[in-house]
């Protein structure tokens, strides 16, 4: 090879390297721009609820009055690095919609949970809200002849595109988040909404989940045996939606299903597939999380211990079955089923949940207020 040929090849190699570097830089910048764009419209800004004075319960220990282990005192000059580039605390509104269609045009909020995600521990505490709580729903009065109340699960429906009782792009999740905030003072930073068909597909995509069915009524209603069962998506949904043993047992069944799904996602055989699973279901789940945030949460999930996932529920004894008579929406001649409960008490629990002092962790089935994944 002549000197001229060598010089020509060197120049071509330099140009090729420069083009590769330029293309790679453009691709990286494009990815970064995409990764930071929310997959759905973000939640509106909330005005914090002015909470009443702290309530002191008479039926037992004050919520949040638990004995904590001694805490490690860290020198004030040391600032721990962020875990997976996430904020120290994040609140995620998780919604299970009762629509069986692929679209999210309609549907009630069949399952309502707010997850408090502590990234430095890491730890997740999930608080359940009963869907039959009667609440003030903002922005609906003009479309309902002045009516501004309804069940908590209706606030999601009224915000969805099929009803569109408010104009914010966050639609049903945004109106539900705002309703929760105005009635209970709960904070939501982001939301995640999954309909029934997508839930089934997610469970099937991870190869099913292992559930322990402890209640005879649930077993009879779902046609599943008592004890341990390996369930596909359809049967897992049956367990999560069954209410034969009452709404409180239904909530516990939902928590068991969520625990089983979380355990499966963190299994060594499935964990490497999580990024591809996220990508596969990106168009079937409605969330204002960005791809970058989803990746960061998956990163934190890999560090999460099952015992640090706690499911919280307001004590059963606070709730008394009641009826809204007449049913303002005319759907039930006997009146709409609702819960009679002191909302000041619920707000006090919410305040301590957000402070990270309630509930105490305990194995599943051990207490009504705090249960952890086994």
The domains located in the chain, with CATH, are 45-51+82-194+285-372 (3.30.420.590)
Given a contact cutoff of 8 angstroms between Cβ atoms, the answer to whether 318 and 104 are in contact is no
Lowest mean pLDDT of 192-206, 208-222, 263-277, name the range.
263-277
Helices (H), the chain: 3-35, 152-159, 171-184, 196-205, 216-222, 233-241, 247-265, 274-280, 291-301, 343-355
Mean pLDDT, residues 280-285: 81
Strand partners, 149: 136
Q: How many CB atoms lie within 10 A of CB 329?
A: 14
Q: What is the pTM of this model?
A: 0.78
Q: What is the pLDDT of residue 347?
A: 97
Residue 356 DSSP code:
T
Lowest mean pLDDT of 39-43, 85-89, 97-101, 227-231, name the range.
97-101
User: What SS3 class is residue 203?
Assistant: helix
Range from 54-63, 175-184, 209-218, 292-301 that averages highest in pLDDT: 175-184
Pairwise pLDDT comparison (177 vs 251), residue with the higher score: 177
Q: Residue for token digits 């990746």? A: 295
Q: CA-to-CA distance for 152 and 130, rounded, in angstroms?
A: 8
Pairwise pLDDT comparison (353 vs 73), residue with the higher score: 353
pLDDT digits (tens, 9 = 90+) for 76-94: 555 667 789 999 999 999 9
Lowest mean pLDDT of 42-51, 230-239, 310-319, name the range.
42-51
Helices and strands of the chain, counted as H and E runs: 10, 13
Given a contact cutoff of 8 angstroms between Cβ atoms, the answer to whether 318 and 61 are in contact is no
Residue of 304, 274, 236, 244 whose CA lies nearest to 86: 304
DSSP codes, 128-189: E--TT-EEE-TT-GGGTTT--EEEHHHHHHHHSTTT--S--TTHHHHHHHHHHHHHH----S
Length of the chain (residues): 374
Rg of the chain taking only CA atoms, in angstroms:
24
Structure-block tokens of residue 176: 């539900």
pLDDT band at 361 (very low <50, low <70, confident <90, very high): low
pLDDT digits (tens, 9 = 90+) for 163-198: 999 989 999 999 999 999 999 999 999 999 999 888
Q: What is the mean pLDDT of the chain?
A: 80
Q: What is the pLDDT of residue 306?
A: 80
User: Is there a cis peptide before residue 122, judged by omega within 30 degrees of 0?
Assistant: yes
Mean pLDDT, residues 47-75: 41
Q: What is the pLDDT of residue 318?
A: 97
Task: Kindly provide the b/e burial profile for residues 173-210, where b requires at least 16 CB atoms within 10 angstroms of the residue's own CB.
Answer: bbbbbbbbbbbbbbbbbbbbbbbbbbbbbbbebbebbe
- Is the pLDDT score of 14 beyond 70? no
Q: CA-to-CA distance for 137 and 134, rounded, in angstroms?
A: 9
pLDDT band at 289 (very low <50, low <70, confident <90, very high): very high
Lowest mean pLDDT of 201-210, 243-252, 303-312, name the range.
243-252
């Amino acid at each position: 090879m002549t000197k001229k040929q060598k010089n020509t090849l060197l120049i071509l190699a330099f140009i090729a390297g420069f083009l590769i570097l330029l293309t790679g830089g453009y691709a990286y910048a494009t990815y970064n721009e995409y990764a930071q764009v929310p997959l759905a419209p973000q939640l509106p800004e909330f005005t914090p609820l002015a909470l009443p004075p702290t309530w002191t319960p008479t039926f037992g220990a004050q919520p949040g009055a638990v004995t904590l282990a001694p805490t490690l005192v860290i020198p004030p000059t040391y600032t721990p690095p962020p875990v997976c580039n996430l904020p120290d605390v994040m609140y995620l509104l998780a919604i299970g919609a009762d629509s069986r269609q692929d679209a999210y045009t309609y549907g009630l909020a069949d399952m309502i949970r707010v997850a408090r995600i502590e990234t430095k521990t890491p730890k997740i505490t999930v608080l359940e809200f009963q869907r039959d709580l009667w609440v003030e729903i903002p922005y609906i009065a003009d479309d309902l002849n002045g009516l501004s109340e309804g069940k908590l699960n209706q606030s999601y429906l009224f915000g969805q595109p099929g009803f569109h009782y408010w104009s914010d792009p966050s639609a049903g999740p945004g109106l539900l988040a705002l309703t929760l905030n105005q009635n209970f003072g709960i904070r939501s930073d982001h939301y995640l909404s999954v309909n029934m068909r997508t839930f089934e597909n997610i469970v099937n995509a991870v190869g099913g989940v292992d559930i322990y069915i402890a209640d005879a009524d649930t077993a009879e209603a779902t046609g599943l045996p008592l004890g341990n069962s390996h369930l596909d998506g359809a049967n897992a949904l049956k367990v999560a939606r069954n209410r034969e043993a009452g709404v409180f047992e239904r909530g516990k069944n939902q928590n068991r299903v969520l625990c089983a799904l979380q355990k499966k996602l963190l299994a060594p055989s499935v964990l490497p597939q999580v990024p591809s699973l996220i990508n596969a279901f990106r168009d079937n789940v409605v969330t204002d999380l960005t791809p970058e945030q989803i990746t960061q949460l998956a990163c934190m999930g890999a560090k999460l211990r099952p015992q640090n996932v706690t499911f919280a529920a307001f004590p059963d004894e606070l709730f008394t079955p009641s009826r809204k008579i007449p049913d303002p929406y005319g759907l039930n001649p006997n009146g709409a089923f609702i819960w009679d409960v002191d909302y000041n008490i619920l707000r006090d629990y919410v305040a301590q949940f957000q402070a990270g002092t309630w509930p105490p962790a305990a194995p599943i089935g051990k207490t009504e207020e705090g249960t952890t994944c086994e």
